[in-house]
Structure 1
Amino acid sequence: MTNTEIVDRLELTGRLMELHDHDAFKIRAFSSAAFSLDKSTADLASLPVEELVKLPGVGKSVAQKIRELVETGHLTELDNLLAETPEGVLEMFRIKGLGAKKIRTLWRELGIDNLRDLQLAGENGQIAKIKGFGASTQEKILNSLTFLQEQKGKIRMDRAAMLANVLHDELTRAFNRVDISGQVRRKAQEVDTIQLLLETSDPVGAQRYLNSLPMLTQNERESSPFAWRGHMEGSDVGIELLMFPADQIDRQLFIQTAAEPHLQQVGSASVSLLQAALTLSNVSEERIYERAGLPYIVPEMREDEFAFRWAGRHQNDELVTWDDLRGTLHNHSTWSDGKQSIADMAAYCRELGLTYFGIADHSKTASYANGLDIDRVQAQHREIDRLNAQFGDNFLIFKGIESDILGDGSLDYDDATLATFDYVVASVHQTLTMTLEKATTRLLRAIENPYTTILGHPTGRLLLARAGYPIDHRAVIDACAEHNVVIEINASPYRLDIDWRWIDYAMERGVMLSINPDAHDLAGLLDMHYGVAVGRKGGLTKAMTFNALTLTEMKAYLQNRKNQLLAG
C-alpha cells in the first residue's frame, strides 16, 4: 500500500467522522496525521507502530490504524463509516466549498443524499434559505455541479497515458502490432476515450480474446465487429480498441490521431487530409501531408487549422523537447510543503542532466503550506549558499520564491526582501472566486511589480476539479510583454496552466514561457514531460522557452533584471 493510499484513507476517515459528528479529538487526530504524513518520505507501510509514532502528527491510536490498514487492506472504522454514508453524500465532497459540516446540514436538514437532489434544491432556492449558506454559497454549489457534470467520464493526461501504456503492454502479448492513438497520442490534457489500434486479420478471435481479459468490461451496445468499446477496471473513462489488417494500420493511425477539424483541412492539391489518407496506396504520415499539399504537422498539434498557421512561421524542429530543457525554476522543498530537501532535489536535477535548480517555496501568507517568514527566507538562503559552494561551475541553485499575489495584487513581501531573491514566481492561491475584471486587475498589478519575474499558473485551475478564475488572457499577456515578465506553463498534470491555446499569442507578443513542474518531490520534477507535451501542442519553440536558457544565459538574464531594478 502506497503512502498516498494510506493518507487518502486517513483523510477520508477524518472527513466522515466529522460528517457523522464524532468526537472532535478523534477527528483532529486523523486529519492532523493525514496532513503531516502527506509530506513524509518514509515508507509508511513498512514501519511498525513504534516507528510510526515518531513521525509528526501520528499518535499511537492512528499508528495502530495504519498497521491495520496495511496488514488487512481495510480500516474497520472507515468501513463502518462508509456503510452509514450514502454514495451520493460521499460525492458531495467533490463540490468546492462544501465541507463535512455543510454536507451534514444538507443531508440531515434537507434530506439531500445525491448530487441530483442537491442541484434541484439549489435551482429551487432551498439551499440559500439554510442558515450559514446564503445565495452566494448556493451559486457556488450550482457552478461546481455544472463543472463536475461537464468533466464526467474524463481523466487527466497523466492517468490516461498510464492506462494506455498498461493496455499496450498487455495487448502486445497477443497482437503483432499495437499503437496508442487518439487523444492520448495527441497529448490532450483531458481524455474521455483511450484508443488503441490492433493489427489483426481475425477480428472475431480478437474480440474473444479481449473479452477474456479480467481488466476489461465490454459495452456490447457501443461495440461493433471491428471495434471493442467498454471500460477498464478501476476507471470510467472510455476504452476503444479498433481492429485493422496490417495494410491499414498506418493509414488509420493518422486518421484516428487527428481531430476532425484537422482532417478536413484542404491543401494546395485541393484534397483534404482525410481524402489523402484514404486514397493513398503506400501510406505514411509524411506522404499524407505531401499528397494534400500541406506541411507535416507533429501528432500533438493535430487539432485544427492553427497548426498550419503556425507552420507558416516555424519549422517542426523548432518545437521544444525534453532535451532542450536546461533547468527548472518552480519547485518546493521541506522548507515549505515539499517532501524532499533542497539538497536532494538539486541532486536529482543533476542526475537528470539539468544544470540549474530553482527553489520557489511558498511565501509567508501561505501559512497552510508552511510559508517562509523573513527570518526563514534568510536561513534558506544561507543553506543555498553552502550547497552552491560544493558545486563547480556546471550547476547552480537559484534563490527563488513563489510569492502569493494578495487580494489587491501586491506581492507577499516588502521590496527589501523581494530584492534578496534571484527571481520571483508570483501566483494566486487564495480568494479564487473573482469576476473577470477583478481577477485580471489583480494579475495586472502583480505583473507591474518590478520584482515579478514569472507569472505562476495564471488561472489557478485544477483540471477536472476546479475551473479556475476567469481572466482576460490578451490583457495579461500584453502586460507581461510590456513588463518583461515570463509566463509559466505549470507542468503539473493537475494544472497545465497557462492553457496551450494561448502559447502562440504569448510568443507573438515576445513573451517567454517557462515549463515549471511545481515539484513537491523528486517524481514531480518529471512532470516537465507533460509541460513539454502541451508546450509543443501550443507551438512552443525552444527559442521562447525560458528554462531552455543555458546556465550562463540564465545567470545573465536574472542579473540584468537586478541591474535594471537598481538603475530604476
Structure 2
Amino acid sequence: MTNSEIVDLLELTARLMELHDRDQFKTRTFQTAAFNLDKSTADLANLPVDELVKLQGVGKSIAQKIREIAETGRLTELDELMAETPSGVLDMFRIKGLGVKKVRTLWRELGIDNLRDLQLAGENGQIAKIKGFGASTQEKILAALEFLQEQQGKVRMDKAAMIANMLHDELIKHFERVEVSGQVRLKAQEVDTIQLLVQTSDPVSAMLTLSNLPNLVQNERESSPFVWRGQLNGFDVQVEILFYSASQIDQQLFIHSAAEPHLKQAGPTGVSLLQAAYTTTDTVETAIYERAGLPYIVPEMREDDFAFRWASRHHNDELVTWEDLRGTLHNHSTWSDGKQSVAGMAAYCRELGLTYFGIADHSKTASYAGGLDAERVQQQQLEIDELNKGFGDDFRIFKGIESDILSDGSLDYDDATLATFDYVVASVHQTLTMSLEKATTRLLKAIENPYTTILGHPTGRLLLAREGYPIDHRAIIDACAEHNVVIEINASPYRLDIDWRWIEYAMQQGVMLSINPDAHDLAGLLDMHYGVAVGRKGGLTKAMTFNALTLPEMNDYLQQRREKIRG
C-alpha cells in the first residue's frame, strides 16, 4: 500500500463517520491523522506501531488502523461503514460543492441515494427548497452533474500511459510485436480508449490468448474477430486491442495514431495521408508523408491541419524536449503544503541534471495550504541564501512565491514583500465561480502588476474533476505580451493548463511559456514530462520555453526584470 492509498482510506473513513453521525472525537482523530500523513514522507506501510505513533497526528489507535490497512489492504471499520452507505451516496461526494453535511441532508431529507435521483430533484426544483441550499446551489449541482457525465469513462494522460504500458508489458510476452497507438500515442490529455496493436497471423489464437490473461474482461458484443474490446479490472476506461499481420502493422500504427482531420490532409498532388498510407509500398511513417508530399509530423501533433501550418514556419527539431529543460520554477516545499524540504527538492533537481530550482510556495491567503506570511517569507529566504552558499556556479535556488490573485485582481502581498522575490507566479485559487468578464478582468489586473513574472494555471481547471473558469484567452495572451509576463503550462496531469490549443497563439504574440510541474514532492518534478508532451502537441519550441533558458540566461532575465521594476 502506498502512502496516498493509506491516507485515502483514512479520509474516506472520517467522511463516512461524519456522514453517519459517529463519535465526533473519533471522527476528528481520523481527519487529523489523514491531514498530517498526507504530507509525510515516511514509508507508512512498513513502519511498526511504535514508530507510527511518533508521527504527527497519529495515536496508538490510528497506528493500529494503519497496520491493518498495510497488512490486509482493508479497514474493518471502513467496511462496516461502506455496508451502511448506498454506493450512489458515495458518488455524490464527487459533486463539486457537496460536502458531508449537504450530502447527509440530501440523503436523509429527500431520500436521494444516487446521482440519477439527485439530477431529477434538481430539475424538479426540490433541492432549491431545502434550507441552506437555494437556487444557486441547485444550479451548481446540476452543472457539476452534467460535467461528470461528460467525463465518464475517461482517464487522465498519466493513468492512460500507465495502463497502456502495463498492457504492453503483458502482451509482449505473448506476441512478437505490440504497439501503443490511438489517443495515448497522440498524447491526449483525457483518454476514453486505451488502444494497442498486436502483430499476429492468427487472430483466432490471439483472441484465445487474451481470454486467458488475468484482469482483462472482454465485452463480447463490442468485440469482433480482429478486435478485442473490454476493460482492465479496476479501470473505468475502454481497452481496444487490434490484430494485424506483419505487413499491415506499420501502416495501421500510423492510421490509428492520427486524427481523421489530419489523415484527410493532402499534398501538392492531391494525395491525402490516408491514401498515401494505403498506396505506398514503404509503410514506415516518414515514407507515408513523403508519398503525400507533406512534411513529417510528430505523432503528438497529428490532430488537424494546424501541424502543417506550424511546419511551414518551423522544423521538428525545434520542438521542446525533456533534455532542453534547464530548471523548474513552480514547486512547493514543507514551508507550505509540500512533502519535501527545499534542500531535498533542490538536491533531486541536481540529480535530474537541472541547473536551477525555483521554490514557489503558497502565499499568505492560502492559509489552508500553510501559506507564508511576510515573516515566514523572510525566514525561508534566509534558508535559501544559506543553501545557495553551498552550490557552485552550476546550480542555484531561486526565491519565488505562488501569490494568490485576489477577487479584485491584486496580489496578496504588499510591494515591499513582492520585491524580495526573484520571481512571482500569480495564480487564482479561491472564488472560482466567475463569468468570463469577471475572470478575464481579474487576470488582466494581475498581469498588469509589475511583480507578476508568470501567470499560473490560467483557467484553474482540474481535468475530469472541475471545469476551468471561462477566460478570454486572446485578451489574456495579448496582455501577457504587453507586460512581458510568461504563461505557465502547468504540467501536473491533473491540470495541463494552459490548454495546448493556445500555445501557438502565445508564441505568435511573443509570449514565452514555462513548463512548471507544480511539484509537491520529488515524484511531482517528473510531471514536467507531461508538460513537455502537451507543449510539443501545441508546437512549443525550445526557443519559446522559459525554463529552457540556461542558468546564466535565467539569472540575467530575472535581474533585468527587477531592475526595470525599480526604475
| Cα offset, 1:315, TM superposition | 0.8
| Cα offset, 1:149, TM superposition | 0.3
| Cα offset, 1:228, TM superposition | 0.5
Equivalent residue, structure 1, for 2:83? 83
Residue pairs, 1:352-501, within 5 angstroms: 352-501=352-501
* 1:202-261 Cα shifts (integer Å, max 9, x gaps): 000000000101120111111111110100011120101000000111100000000111
Give the share of equivalent positions with the same residue, in percent: 80
Residue pairs, 1:151-550, within 5 angstroms: 151-550=151-550
| Cα offset, 1:73, TM superposition | 2.1
1:24 aligns with 2:24: yes
Equivalent residue, structure 1, for 2:106? 106
Equivalent residue, structure 2, for 1:8? 8
> Which deviates more from structure 2 when the two are superposed, residues 63-72 or residues 554-563?
63-72
Q: For the Cα contact (< 8 Å) 2:447–2:455, is it kept in 1?
A: yes
1:33 aligns with 2:33: yes
Q: What secondary structure does 1:9 align onto?
A: helix
2: CA distance, partners of 1:104 / 1:460: 28
Partner amino acid, structure 2, of 1:86: P
2: CA distance, partners of 1:561 / 1:297: 37
Partner amino acid, structure 1, of 2:225: P
Q: For the Cα contact (< 8 Å) 1:203–1:225, is it kept in 2?
A: yes
Partner amino acid, structure 2, of 1:373: D
Q: For the Cα contact (< 8 Å) 1:7–1:34, is it kept in 2?
A: yes
| Cα offset, 1:60, TM superposition | 2.1
* 1:254-305 Cα shifts (integer Å, max 9, x gaps): 0000011111111112011111101112211111111111111000000111
2: CA distance, partners of 1:491 / 1:172: 30
Q: For the Cα contact (< 8 Å) 2:454–2:488, is it kept in 1?
A: yes
| Cα offset, 1:129, TM superposition | 0.3
Partner amino acid, structure 1, of 2:205: G
| Cα offset, 1:468, TM superposition | 1.2
Q: For the Cα contact (< 8 Å) 2:330–2:358, is it kept in 1?
A: yes
* 1:29-70 Cα shifts (integer Å, max 9, x gaps): 111111110000000111122221221111222112111222
Q: What secondary structure does 1:358 align onto?
A: strand
TM-score (ref. length: structure 2):
0.99
Partner amino acid, structure 1, of 2:443: L
2: CA distance, partners of 1:559 / 1:288: 49
1: CA distance, partners of 2:521 / 2:489: 18
Partner amino acid, structure 1, of 2:331: N
Partner amino acid, structure 2, of 1:449: N
2: CA distance, partners of 1:331 / 1:223: 45
Partner amino acid, structure 1, of 2:215: M
Q: For the Cα contact (< 8 Å) 2:426–2:455, is it kept in 1?
A: yes
| Cα offset, 1:564, TM superposition | 0.2
| Cα offset, 1:565, TM superposition | 0.4
Q: What secondary structure does 1:403 align onto?
A: strand
1: CA distance, partners of 2:333 / 2:403: 15
Q: For the Cα contact (< 8 Å) 2:282–2:288, is it kept in 1?
A: no
Q: What secondary structure does 1:198 align onto?
A: strand
Q: What secondary structure does 1:335 align onto?
A: coil
Q: For the Cα contact (< 8 Å) 1:331–1:361, is it kept in 2?
A: yes
Q: What secondary structure does 1:416 align onto?
A: helix
Partner amino acid, structure 2, of 1:490: N
| Cα offset, 1:511, TM superposition | 0.2
1:136 aligns with 2:136: yes
Q: What secondary structure does 1:247 align onto?
A: coil
2: CA distance, partners of 1:123 / 1:322: 48
2: CA distance, partners of 1:326 / 1:193: 34
2: CA distance, partners of 1:294 / 1:245: 27
1: CA distance, partners of 2:273 / 2:31: 55
Q: What secondary structure does 1:246 align onto?
A: coil
* 1:117-161 Cα shifts (integer Å, max 9, x gaps): 100100111000000000110011001000000000000000000
TM-score (ref. length: structure 1):
0.99
* 1:321-347 Cα shifts (integer Å, max 9, x gaps): 000000000000011000001111001
Q: What secondary structure does 1:451 align onto?
A: coil
Partner amino acid, structure 1, of 2:144: S
Aligned structure 1 segments of 4 or more residues deviating by more than 3 angstroms: none
Q: For the Cα contact (< 8 Å) 2:405–2:427, is it kept in 1?
A: yes
> Which deviates more from structure 2 when the two are superposed, residues 393-402 or residues 43-52?
43-52
Q: For the Cα contact (< 8 Å) 2:157–2:190, is it kept in 1?
A: yes
Alignment length (residue pairs): 567
Equivalent residue, structure 1, for 2:555? 555
2: CA distance, partners of 1:55 / 1:407: 38
Please give the root-mean-square deviation of Cα atoms over the aligned residues, in Å. 0.7
1: CA distance, partners of 2:148 / 2:93: 12
| Cα offset, 1:187, TM superposition | 0.3
Q: What secondary structure does 1:94 align onto?
A: coil
Instruction: Point out where structure 1 has 5 or more consecutive residues left out of the alignment.
Output: none
1: CA distance, partners of 2:295 / 2:282: 18
Q: For the Cα contact (< 8 Å) 1:269–1:291, is it kept in 2?
A: no
Q: What secondary structure does 1:461 align onto?
A: coil
